[in-house]
Amino acid sequence: MSDAISLPPSVVPKGAGPAPLIDPFQRAITYLRISVTDRCDLRCAYCMSETMQFLPKRDLLSLEELDRLCGVFIARGVRKLRITGGEPLVRRDIMHLFRRLSRHLDSGALKELTLTTNGTQLARFAPELAALGVKRVNVSLDTLDAVKFKDITRRGELPVVLAGIEAARKAGMQVKINAVALRDVNGDEIPDMIAWAHGLGMDLTLIEVMPLGEIEADRTDQFLPLSVARQRLESRYTLTPLPDRTGGPARYVRVEETGGRLGFITPLTHNFCESCNRVRLTCTGQLYLCLGQEDSADLRAVLRATNDDAVLARAVEEAITRKPKGHDFVIERQRPAAVPRHMSVTGG
């Protein structure tokens, strides 16, 4: 936890503009992911439990506080913001935040403003998001089977999400589909999802299930190693590795038969922490330096203690000096989740 009184002096040299945020492993931190709510209109079985206790509203950062904090990160060299959650588009007045943040796109200070969503509200919001400069959106979708979809999400309607994806594409946004690979649930559907996504010109990224937060199921039963999924895919498709890097954990291949791009996020079987360029802000203003580690900085306390953005910037700088080298996820039977926070709190 950071203490506003004992913060180190700013690393910003006078008159030289802000130095980029560099962590102890010489990684420039240019990407902030922000969870704007822990709430969601779905209850994906690998993400949440059926009966989640959500946070009281007073614990959440207000939209004004989120805007102020994002401004501080941008002034300190962050170039990419991703709004996530929980489901970001169920937060009341969320478009107010997008409208505020879009001024940083207009000024050129921010290179990219984007979001990760389950797509249920996209049909409503896509036109305005696109008009505000949101060029790309990640939509999480684990199956194209409506019955399975309801089963995985415990309440979702597949056609609503498909309509959201369509609306985003129509509005001119580039859509990427994220699918968590779930053993015995969607493993056999992956080739069809590739054909569908690539047929519509969308990238597809597969994700290994991570041990984040307690749920009813045992994640060992859900876990499908992507090394196995990839091997199976190679019997149908020709996968050519691509050099594309986003500073993130995904590694990409081109599927020669479709011409589309397929990503693999493999935190369990292979991690790529050495090039990590990101930190994550929870909806309560805790800055996590790594998705899989516990260390954090309480930026809400600093936000609420002072109106001085320079103090806030120093709290951010101090936190970055504590960014760990990487995570060490393992999924083992009869072990509590490796990280107690659900993905919906830290922001996926």
Point out which residues bind ligand SF4 (CB under 6 A): 40, 42-44, 47-48, 85-87, 118, 140, 344
* Closest to ligand SF4 by CB, 44 or 61: 44
The Cα 214–Cα 336 span in angstroms is 7
* Closest to ligand SF4 by CB, 30 or 117: 117
Q: Helices 122-131 and 94-107 meet at what angle, rounded to 10?
A: 20
Q: What is the DSSP-derived secondary structure letter of residue 54? A: P
Q: Which does 60 bind (CB under 5 to 8 A by kind): ligand SF4, ligand SAM, none?
A: none
Residues 78/270/336/277 CA torsion (nearest 10 deg) = -10
Q: How far is CA 102 from CA 65, 70, 108, 197, 316, in A?
A: 16, 11, 10, 28, 22
Cβ within 8 Å of residue 156, ≥6 positions away: 41, 42, 118, 120, 149, 150
**Residue 116 makes contact with ligand SAM by CB under 6 A:** yes
Cα atoms in the Cβ-side hemisphere of radius 13 Å centred on 119: 28
- Span near ligand SAM by CB under 6 A; candidates 94-102, 114-122, 126-134, 162-170: 114-122
**Residue 212 makes contact with ligand SAM by CB under 6 A:** yes
Contact 38, 208 (CB under 8 A): no
Tell which phi-psi region holds residue 254, choosing left (phi > 0), alpha (psi between -120 and 50) or beta: beta
Size of the site for ligand SAM (CB under 6 A): 19
- Span near ligand SAM by CB under 6 A; candidates 14-22, 62-70, 207-215, 251-259: 207-215
**Residue 178 makes contact with ligand SAM by CB under 6 A:** yes
Q: Could you give the 3-state DSSP secondary structure of residue 243?
A: coil
Q: Shortest distance, CB of residue 169 to ligand SAM, whole angstroms?
A: 17
Q: Which does 260 bind (CB under 5 to 8 A by kind): ligand SAM, ligand SF4, none?
A: none
**Residue 72 makes contact with ligand SAM by CB under 6 A:** no
**Residue 87 makes contact with ligand SAM by CB under 6 A:** yes
The Cα 211–Cα 208 span in angstroms is 10
Q: Shortest distance, CB of residue 346 to ligand SAM, whole angstroms?
A: 8
User: Residues 144, 180, 250, 255: which binds ligand SAM (CB under 6 A)?
Assistant: 180
Annotate each residue in 237-276 with x if it binds ligand SAM (CB under 6 A) or - if it does not, as one string.
----------------------------------------
